[in-house]
Amino acid sequence: MVKNRHDGDRGIPEISFAAPAGTPAGVEVLSLADLRRRVPRERLAVPQRPDFHHLITLGDGMLRHPVDFTAHTLEPGSWLWIRPGQVHQWDDLTRAEGTLILFRQDFLDPATAAGARLDDPHAPVLRRPLADEAEALRLAAGHLASEFHALGHLPLEIHTAALRHLLAVLVLRLAHLTSPAGLPSAEPDATYLRFRDAVEKNFARTRRVEDYAEAMGYSSRTLSRATLASVGLGAKEVIDRRVVLEAKRLLAHSDQTAARIADRLGFSSATHFSKFFHQHTGQSPIAFRGTVRGGHAPG
């Protein structure tokens, strides 16, 4: 299912996709019961940063699943979409029955990847579809699972193509759910999307809006208008929130010192980093690490 590697500098277990023997590389469908049988509970409980997508849906029971310091509660009919780079960990699986779909982003064609916004690390993690959409998703997942377990009924290349098309249907539907109010979700502003992608690549190099504006050919005011319209935040807040998230990941899931984390995130000193972190979270870095590791619910 997966192959573990440990990046000693980062300190967070990195998980790479490893296809089961004899199956198409890039996708796997299994039940949560299969997952419980195949992976020891203590391994599942360790925070992980996969480089592939997880789709989780339940048929029965309930599952609490923390993703990047937010604990999501999954119930039958809802979906959890964990994307590459997000840190997550499995909670108690004994009260949940459902399906887990794992796939590499490059398993799908570029048009599907773009249409499903696969490279959007800020997309909602928890999805609660309306009744008719929930049924369509259930059928799509069922067809995908049936085809995955029908290995050998078709030539491998045809089987792989069928899986690719069935997975495309599922992720496209899941990415374009109707909002609870009954109106389609607004498309993100193109300027905001460019800015968000630039922040994702460069947040450890600069936290200055002016640097992003200059590199992108916009004014700082244009970037702030775009972020306010798309997510209700100023451009500086978007940058700072991304830095805080990475700081939380490193504090919670590694043993690196605050000075080392400060250096990784582009701060001139541990003192500067500590002031920044306290300003945005109300805690010092060390206090946050103690809270998370002391067993308190992440937040």
Rg (CA), the chain: 20
Residue pLDDT, tens place only, 223-281: 999 999 888 899 999 999 999 999 998 998 888 999 999 999 999 999 999 999 999 99
Residues 6+ apart with CB under 8 A from 250: 10, 11, 12, 256, 261, 264
Q: How confident is the model at residue 179, as a pLDDT?
A: 62
pTM for the whole thing? 0.78
pLDDT band at 59 (very low <50, low <70, confident <90, very high): very high
Nearest to 244 by CA among 277, 208, 196, 278: 277
Q: Mean pLDDT across the chain, nearest whole number?
A: 88
List the single range of 12-21, 103-112, 118-127, 148-157 with lowest mean pLDDT: 12-21
